[in-house]
Amino acid sequence: MTEIDFRILDFIREKLSNSFLDFAMPKLTAVGNIGLIWIFIAAAMVISRKYRRNGLELAAGLAGCALVGNLLLKNLVARQRPCWINETIELLIAVPKDYSFPSGHTMTAFAAAAIIFHANKKFGVAAYILAVLIAFSRLYLYVHFPTDVLAGAVIGTLIGIAVCFFSKKFFPPKDLQNTGK
């Protein structure tokens, strides 16, 4: 599997690398650092009466990603990053210090996108586009394998869906409780 991962990374590096992406990808990946953009969006949603519940769901989803991905899976799997294995690649960002699997940037982005999509389809589509771009930035920057990113997208989406499901099941909206629906 690692051989296929490296082929994909090398293809991106050889065929897609250019000065515009060299400039844009570090900035795009920075947007996803520690889930900061998603934390900001969650806070903005919590302030809004209409989206307060969804903001709390987003916060719960981000916490779930931190626990499942960054604390549990990264340390359990302990997969080296491609830039640790192939040290000949000159990185455009600082070498990450934690393990590679799954991609935390991707996981939080997809969890957030799933929760935002559940709240508002239009904003959700925009969130998914940003999630895909953040995920691609991790490949372009040579800090994750494609399978790390794919796993991050799947796990993040599942966490986002689970948060929305359990939120609705265990904390139904008050207007539904009063009408008996």
Asked if residues 60 and 167 have their Cβ atoms less than 8 Å apart, the reply is yes
Asked if residues 58 and 38 have their Cβ atoms less than 8 Å apart, the reply is yes
Q: Is the pLDDT of residue 178 over 90?
A: no
pLDDT of residue 169: 86
pLDDT of residue 175: 52
List the chain domain ranges.
2-172
Q: Is the pLDDT of residue 39 over 70?
A: yes
pLDDT of residue 138: 97
Asked if residues 40 and 30 have their Cβ atoms less than 8 Å apart, the reply is no
- Tens digit of pLDDT for each residue in 59-106? 999 999 999 999 999 999 999 999 999 999 999 999 999 999 999 999
Q: Is 150 exposed, middle or buried (0-12, 13-18, 19+ CB in 10 A)?
A: middle
Q: Identify which of 149, 139, 144 has the alpha carbon closest to the alpha carbon of residue 17.
A: 139
- Tens digit of pLDDT for each residue in 143-166? 999 999 999 999 999 999 999 999
- Output the six-digit token pair for 19: 């000065």
Q: Is the pLDDT of residue 135 over 50?
A: yes
- Identify whether 102 is preceded by a cis peptide bond (ω within 30 of 0): yes
